[in-house]
């Protein structure tokens, strides 16, 4: 298969954002404001925070500012897997927070139920499908672990190779565990835009092209400096500054540099990539089956994730997670031809019966990760400011939970969520450069070697496990 031919005409715009359904740009904030709650960031975390704030208190004045446009970053360019897990899998939660892992798993299920309920309550057109996810084994050694997790009463159903072939047809599959309840699929950009619609209907003021440059304490309130980002909105003639005085501030900037310097080393940005195919015709769909429309992920450390869109395209992403020295973020990194070629090769290895299919879109973008691989929280200025970050690819679902936690923190009251170790305990920070780059490079190589050695973890990974920086999804 000539993968270059399959990729030749692919658009570099993320598929979910490449639509006329994108809302018209909103104006920037160009004058001073006072508000009860300022939300910084217009991705999933900020949008869910604003929605829940108005649900808790409809009279609360809420302002949300976004430096670019709503949903343009990770929230609008991910795979659309909306998972119940808050800890990147039960095993990873057990490794980091064993005493409360079961409760976190339950809270995650409640959170996914709440997302589904909100979609229904507000009539959100987001292509929500609670089809679950297939964790597929592509190597023989992976099958036993999946078989051991078989628990039909909890919705985890093991499928052997023959049973799996009746669901999705791929010569690479050895078996799978179907998580039938705890994953939904959504159109992520539509979810952002529908959340935007709802919060504006509830009275939230939203400003795009407005970057927060500084947050400082002002006794009974918080003073926030903003700047119009002229480069993101063509109708802004020149950058200008304004000030927001807020009783409470929720920081939802995720992958971007923290406005709280004391946690600036707790995240690093890594670049993830995806392809989207042209729509499959009826004959092509019949060749692969997949009538259950489950999301799919394989079991390796360097894994792939893939799913069907509403018009029967296949999104195929993952494999590489690329870190650039110095925590660099740049639009130049959104395209990586060598990764796209690798993903295309793997796609046709997975579905050789689709030879000749072309890719319509190829894109990438940064996600924030932390050393425990799921979100963390902190507060500042006497709990007048709260922050969440570190989602590591789980933000589609866990962002709503993060909004709940931040609002609890900002309330100043002790709640079940504020008392969680997950909320009270920060993950270990990453070291400064050049140690961060060297450590990430060495860890990536160790994970690749483990995949090549039937999953057996070498000395470095065992050390990371011991110090609380290991990953076991």
Residue 363: both structure tokens together: 């894109």
Q: Is residue 98 part of a domain?
A: no
Claim to verify: residue 446 and residue 419 sit in the same structural domain: no
Angle at 299 between CA 314 and CA 375, to 5 degrees: 85
Residue 455: pLDDT band with limits 50, 70, 90:
confident
pLDDT digits (tens, 9 = 90+) for 27-65: 999 999 999 999 999 999 999 999 999 999 999 999 999
Say whether 235 sits in a helix, a strand or coil: coil
Q: What local confidence, expressed as pLDDT, does residue 61 receive?
A: 98
Q: What local confidence, expressed as pLDDT, does residue 234 receive?
A: 47
Q: Is residue 242 part of a domain?
A: yes
Q: Name the β-bridge partners of 175.
A: 137, 160
Residue 237: pLDDT band with limits 50, 70, 90:
very low
- The single-letter DSSP state of residue 431 is P
Q: What local confidence, expressed as pLDDT, does residue 290 receive?
A: 97
> Contact, 127 vs 187, CB < 8 A?
yes
Q: What local confidence, expressed as pLDDT, does residue 462 receive?
A: 78
Q: Is residue 309 part of a domain?
A: no
Question: Looking at 229-278, which runs of residues are DSSP E strands?
Answer: 241-251, 268-277
Average pLDDT rounded to a whole number, residues 413-434: 96
Residue 286: both structure tokens together: 């019949």
Claim to verify: residue 448 and residue 405 sit in the same structural domain: no
Claim to verify: residue 408 and residue 449 sit in the same structural domain: no
The reported pTM is 0.95
Domain count across the chain: 2
Q: What local confidence, expressed as pLDDT, does residue 211 receive?
A: 95
pLDDT digits (tens, 9 = 90+) for 319-353: 999 999 999 999 999 999 999 999 999 999 999 99
pLDDT digits (tens, 9 = 90+) for 295-318: 999 998 889 999 999 999 999 999
Claim to verify: residue 451 and residue 408 sit in the same structural domain: no
pLDDT digits (tens, 9 = 90+) for 150-188: 999 999 999 999 999 999 999 999 999 999 999 999 999
Q: Is residue 417 part of a domain?
A: yes
Domain range holding 28?
22-78+189-266+372-424
Q: Give 141-147's long-range contacts (Cβ < 8 A, gap of 24+).
A: 141/454, 141/455, 142/174, 142/175, 142/299, 142/300, 142/455, 143/174, 143/175, 145/299, 146/175, 146/176, 146/177, 146/299, 147/175
How far is the C-alpha of 354 from the C-alpha of 341, rounded, in Å? Answer: 16
How far is the C-alpha of 296 from the C-alpha of 319, rounded, in Å? Answer: 14
Say whether 37 sits in a helix, a strand or coil: strand
134: left (phi over 0), alpha (psi -120 to 50) or beta: beta
Average pLDDT rounded to a whole number, residues 267-287: 97
> Contact, 401 vs 51, CB < 8 A?
no
Claim to verify: residue 442 and residue 396 sit in the same structural domain: no
Say whether 420 sits in a helix, a strand or coil: coil
Q: Is residue 40 part of a domain?
A: yes
Q: Name the β-bridge partners of 108.
A: none
Q: How does DSSP assign 285-305, residue by residue? A: HHHHB-TT--EEEESSSS-EE
Q: What local confidence, expressed as pLDDT, does residue 470 receive?
A: 64
Claim to verify: residue 398 and residue 444 sit in the same structural domain: no
Angle at 447 between CA 444 and CA 453, to 5 degrees: 145
Q: Is a pLDDT exceeding 90 seen at residue 363?
A: yes
Residue 236: pLDDT band with limits 50, 70, 90:
very low
| Residues in CB range of 58: below 8 A, 6 or more apart | 202, 203
Q: Is residue 94 part of a domain?
A: no
What is the percent of the chain where pLDDT is above 90?
88
Q: Which tops the pLDDT comparison, 87 or 2? A: 87
How far is the C-alpha of 431 from the C-alpha of 129, rounded, in Å? Answer: 40
Residue 221: pLDDT band with limits 50, 70, 90:
very high
> Contact, 17 vs 6, CB < 8 A?
no
Q: Is residue 92 part of a domain?
A: no
Bridge pairing between strands 268-277 and 62-65:
unpaired
Instruction: Specify the CATH number for the domain of residue 211.
Output: 3.50.50.60
Q: Is residue 100 part of a domain?
A: no
Residue 230: pLDDT band with limits 50, 70, 90:
low
């Amino acid at each position: 298969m000539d993968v270059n031919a399959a990729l030749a005409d692919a658009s570099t715009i993320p598929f979910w954002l490449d639509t006329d359904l994108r809302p018209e740009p909103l104006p920037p904030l160009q004058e001073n404001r006072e508000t009860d709650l300022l939300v910084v960031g217009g991705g999933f975390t900020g949008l869910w925070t604003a929605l829940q704030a108005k649900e808790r208190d409809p009279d609360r004045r809420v302002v949300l500012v976004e430096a670019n446009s709503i949903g343009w970053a990770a929230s609008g360019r991910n795979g659309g897997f909306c998972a119940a897990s808050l800890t990147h899998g039960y095993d990873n939660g057990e490794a980091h927070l064993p005493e409360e892992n079961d409760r976190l798993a339950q809270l995650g299920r409640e959170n996914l139920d709440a997302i589904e309920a909100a979609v229904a309550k507000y009539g959100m057109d987001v292509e929500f499908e609670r089809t679950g996810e297939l964790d597929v084994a592509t190597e023989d050694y992976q099958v036993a672990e999946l078989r051991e997790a078989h628990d039909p009463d909890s919705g985890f159903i093991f499928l052997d190779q023959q049973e799996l072939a009746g669901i999705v047809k791929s010569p690479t599959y050895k078996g799978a565990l179907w998580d039938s309840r705890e994953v939904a699929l959504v159109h992520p950009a539509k979810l952002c835009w529908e959340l935007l619609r709802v919060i504006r209907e509830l009275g939230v003021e939203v400003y795009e092209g407005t970057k927060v440059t500084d947050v400082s304490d002002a006794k009974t309130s918080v003073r926030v400096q903003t700047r119009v980002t002229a480069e993101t909105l063509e109708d802004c003639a020149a950058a200008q500054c304004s000030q927001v005085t807020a009783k409470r501030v929720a920081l939802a900037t995720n992958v971007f540099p923290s406005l709280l310097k004391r946690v600036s080393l707790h995240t690093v940005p890594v670049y993830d990539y995806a392809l989207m195919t042209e729509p499959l015709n009826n004959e092509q769909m019949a060749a692969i089956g997949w009538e259950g429309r489950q999301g799919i992920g394989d079991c390796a450390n360097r894994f792939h994730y893939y799913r069907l869109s509403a018009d029967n395209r296949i999104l195929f992403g993952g494999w590489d997670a690329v870190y650039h020295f110095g925590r660099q973020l740049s639009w130049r990194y959104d395209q990586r031809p060598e990764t796209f070629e690798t993903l295309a090769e793997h796609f046709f290895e997975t579905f050789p019966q689709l030879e000749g299919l072309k890719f319509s879109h190829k894109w990438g973008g940064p996600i924030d990760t932390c050393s425990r691989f799921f979100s963390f929280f902190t507060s500042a200025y006497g709990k007048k400011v709260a922050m969440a970050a570190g989602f590591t690819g789980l933000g589609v679902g866990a962002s709503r939970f993060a909004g709940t936690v931040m609002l609890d923190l900002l309330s100043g009251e002790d709640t079940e969520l504020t008392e969680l170790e997950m909320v009270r305990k920060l993950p270990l920070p990453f070291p400064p450069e050049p140690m961060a780059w060297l450590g990430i490079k060495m860890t990536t190589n160790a994970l690749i070697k483990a995949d090549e050695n039937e999953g057996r973890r070498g000395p470095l990974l065992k050390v990371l496990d011991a110090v609380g920086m290991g990953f076991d999804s």
